Every structure is written in C-alpha cells, then in structure tokens.
Amino acid sequence: MPYFMDYWYIILVLPTIILALFAQTKVKSAFNTYSSLIARNGKTAALVTRQILDSNGLFNVRIERTSGHLSDHFDPKNNVIRLSESVYDSGSVAAIGVAAHEAGHAVQHAEKYVPIKIRNAIIPVANLGSSFAPIIIILGIVLSSPSLVWFGIILYSSIAAFQLVTLPLEFNASKRAVATLNTMGFDEAEITGVKKVLSAAALTYVAALLTTIANLLRFILISRRNNRR
C-alpha cells in the first residue's frame, strides 16, 4: 500500500478530517441560526466594533468591509479590522459576536498579549513548513535519506506549534468579546447566541491542530518504517 494511503491514514488522520468537517458544519449552522436573531439595540456589527475599539482607546484601528463569507480578521500590520459582507452591516447576534471577537484580537495586539509575540516568532517557520515540509518528507523517502525526512518532519512540526499557540489567542479573544458585550447591555439570549457561534468557530481551530498532529505522527511512523527497510 502507498506510503501516504496506508492504514495509518485511517487510524490517525481520517477521524480528524471528519472532526474538521463537523466543525465547519457546526460553524455554518450556528452562524445561520443566530443570523436570524437581531440584537434589540439595533446596532450593526461595524458600529459595535467601533464602540469596543474606542472604549479601549484604539481610535487608530480602522474598520473596513471585505469580500467573502466569514472572512473576518484583524490585520495587525495595517492596523485594520476587516469585516465580511455578511457581518459588516448586519445587526444579528451572529455578526456582532464575530465582529466583537476580531475587536478582541485588536485589543490583544495593543496590550502586547504574550501569545501573540510567540505566534509572530513562529509564523515565518510555519509558513515554510506549510509550503515545503511534505515535499521535503516525500523527497527524503524517495532518496532514502532519513536526515532529509526528519528535517521535513521538524519543519512540519512548526505548523502544529503555530496552531497550538493560536488556540489561547482565539479563546481569549472570544472571552473578551463575551465580557465586553455583557457590559454593553446585550441580554442573556443574545449573549448565549454569541457564545454558541464563537464556540463553534473555536472548534475549527482545535480540529486543525488535531489534524496537523495526526499527520505529524503519521509522517514519523512512515519514517520509522522506511528506516527498517
């Protein structure tokens, strides 16, 4: 059986792929459900985001509209929060939760939150790992070069390190979002909706990390088996 389609694929990777698909489905379901629940205060996600930023003294952080669905993100390089078309003008609980989460990232950056520094240090290596590690591993197997295989595995492990550090960032941004919206007068039903949307989104990060770890273990097992031949 080919190296990358053996029973280890089923044992290690397939369950995490199923989890990732479940997480994506859960995100879409939660977002769609709470997109129909409009916040009583009538504010849009963009306006709520502006209020959160201003209340933290982040008057220099811009808010822009971006294309795509759930493509919302904070860009620390350009100091801007980009909200997707389905979020920017929406007054739904789902949209406000997503926007408040991104505002949480902006506050983290302003406070120099420690996990951000760690993640920023890992990003260059993780980008290399994402682009080249599998190629290096395959090349090492083809050339029967254990050192090349292990170099690829170490490089690939930087992706897992990046994703691991990302988890506390995401959880903390969601925690900040919920706490802030509580102080802004959102009611219990609205806060519950925000929590469900953000919890579903967090599951996608967990699934991504587990998938990377499973692939990493599979690469190690393939390398060990290849060395015995």
Q: How many CB atoms lie within 10 A of CB 140?
A: 21
Instruction: Report the C-alpha gap between 229 and 141 in whole angstroms.
Output: 11
**What tokens were used for 139?**
């090349």
Beta bridge partners of 64: 82
How far does CA 199 lie from the centroid of its chain?
Answer: 12
Tell me which amino acid residue 12 is: L
**What tokens were used for 145?**
């070069």
CB 76 within 8 A of CB 109: yes
Catalytic-labelled residue, pool 102, 111, 170, 188: 102
Burial of 41 (0-12, 13-18, 19+ CB in 10 A): middle
Short-list 132, 141, 157, 135, CA closest to 225 = 141
Instruction: Report the C-alpha gap between 194 and 151 in whole angstroms.
Output: 42
- Active-site residue, 111 included: no
Short-list 91, 163, 94, 88, CA closest to 127 = 163
List, by residue number, the catalytic residues.
102
